[in-house]
Amino acid sequence: AGECVQQLILHYDPETDTVTTDIPFEQQSGKERVILYLRKKKINGQVTNFFEVMEQCKISARQCRNIQTALLATGVVKCDKYDNHKKIWEPQ
């Protein structure tokens, strides 16, 4: 049995229209980190790519591919354009 969060405090930032928690970055799952990162990109009208997501979210290539597949299936991200050899991730 793992640890369970019993209380979660959310912080709303009206400038970026994002919500963050008191859970440290290191304790967030890879998927949570990617989703939060994509939300920030979407709010700022930016796109990203596989390698940037991997670096910024501190996840492995394998984990990034698995998360990408899940996010594509749920429509959170769209990946169909290229910048040189890098596939662009466009948050939806």
Q: What is the pLDDT of residue 7?
A: 63
The pLDDT value recorded for residue 22 is 66
pLDDT at residue number 36:
87
What pTM, to 2 d.p., does this model score? Answer: 0.72
Which residues, given as ranges, of the chain have pLDDT below 70? 1-8, 22, 24
Tally helices (H) and strands (E) across the chain: 3, 5
Give the whole-number percent of the chain exceeding pLDDT 90: 47
Burial class (CB in 10 A: 0-12, 13-18, 19+), 75: exposed
